[in-house]
Structure 1
Amino acid sequence: VVEFCGGLVICSGSSMEPTIQNNDIILTEQVSVHLHNIRRGDIIVAKCPTNPRQYICKRVVAVYGDDPVSIFSMRKIPRGHVWLEGDNKGNSTDSRVYGPVPLGLVRGRAVCRVWPYHRATFFGAETS
């Protein structure tokens, strides 16, 4: 059921600060992934392109057909890929290092933060 519906994810690291902080727990859904409905501004959880045993939490800043927003040597985001960056750009290893990420590595879209409770909030698609 978790594979198709979603689940809870404990986020570690500071690459998504201030939006998501170290040890925040987020709820993810996978329907958007299965329907190929990942949009610019979504926060996603994916397998790391350089270490398949590690997961990353990043924001989608470009999708198929978009121009990359960094100095990466690409003209357009290829079909079936997304461009991911952390909100804390000074402390994030992301597509600016490893390039576009295949949609096949995306495991879920962040819906809301559920812990800590006093910072619980829903995430909307917003451009960073």
Structure 2
Amino acid sequence: MSMSRLAALAESLSSKFKRTDWDGVTKKWGLRGLAVVNAACAIHLFAEHVGWIHVVAGPSMLPTMSASGEAVLENRLISPSNLKRGDLVTYVSPLDPTRMVCKRLIGLPGDVVCVDPTGATAPSTEHVVIPKGHVWFIGDNAEMSRDSRQYGPVSMSLIRGKLVAKVWPLSSAGWFRNNFHYIDPPSH
């Protein structure tokens, strides 16, 4: 390529570069980037403080939930003090703070609970009084669950939400029902 042709090409590119409205292009892409950041922040805030859909994994809640492939709706607009015995609750694992787990709440502060009704990890005659600010959890499939029977009462500060419905697969979608039955009704 000759020098004159290179100079003409450079001149052509230079004039196109000068004609481009760089302020408009920068503003347009900057606003799009800001919209993406705003959407990501809104989704994060919603998931952390309102609720979200989670995919479950693990056999500890059989038969209420399958070991994998189901999606559940979590409500995070709850106060731990308003939870009831029998609720399905999500909380940070006391054994691994990077994991969220779901178990059934069976004991509230002040309750006396059997440490292990199955007798597998403790004699079924052993009982514990749940301290203030703590609750007792157990998986529906106790044989395959790591829960309060291993790590004791769980601080209410670890509670993140309450599962309210199964949303996938659609054939088994529906609200979770509280299936808790009292052996000795609470006295009021």
TM-score (norm 1): 0.91
In structure 1, what is the equivalent of residue 115 of structure 2? Answer: 70
1:74-108: CA deviation from partner (whole Å, max 9, x where unpaired): 63111111100000011101000000111111111
Distance in structure 2 (CA, Å) of the matches to 1:120 and 1:20: 11
In structure 2, what is the equivalent of residue 83 of structure 1? Answer: 136
> Mind listing any 5+ residue stretches in structure 1 that lack a counterpart?
none
1:102 equivalenced with 2:149 (yes/no): no
1:29 equivalenced with 2:75 (yes/no): yes
Indicate conservation of the 8 Å contact 1:59/1:86, yes or no. yes
Indicate conservation of the 8 Å contact 1:65/1:76, yes or no. yes
Indicate conservation of the 8 Å contact 1:47/1:107, yes or no. yes
Indicate conservation of the 8 Å contact 2:115/2:128, yes or no. no
Distance in structure 1 (CA, Å) of the matches to 2:93 and 2:129: 21
Q: Percent identity?
A: 35
The structural deviation recorded for 1:35 is: 5.9
Distance in structure 1 (CA, Å) of the matches to 2:155 and 2:57: 22
Distance in structure 1 (CA, Å) of the matches to 2:177 and 2:112: 22
In structure 2, what is the equivalent of residue 61 of structure 1? Answer: 106
Distance in structure 1 (CA, Å) of the matches to 2:54 and 2:137: 18
In structure 1, what is the equivalent of residue 54 of structure 2? Answer: 9
Give runs of ≥4 in structure 1 deviating > 3 Å.
71-75
- Higher RCO (Cα < 8 Å, 6 or more apart): 1
Indicate conservation of the 8 Å contact 2:107/2:136, yes or no. yes
In structure 2, what is the equivalent of residue 118 of structure 1? Answer: 171
Distance in structure 2 (CA, Å) of the matches to 1:80 and 1:2: 25
1:29-59: CA deviation from partner (whole Å, max 9, x where unpaired): 1222x36211100001111001000111100
Q: Secondary structure in 1 aligned to 2:162? A: strand
Distance in structure 2 (CA, Å) of the matches to 1:126 and 1:80: 24
C-alpha RMSD of matched pairs (Å): 1.6
**Alignment length (residue pairs):** 127
Indicate conservation of the 8 Å contact 1:40/1:126, yes or no. no
Distance in structure 2 (CA, Å) of the matches to 1:87 and 1:35: 20
Distance in structure 1 (CA, Å) of the matches to 2:72 and 2:153: 24
Which structure shows the higher helix fraction?
2
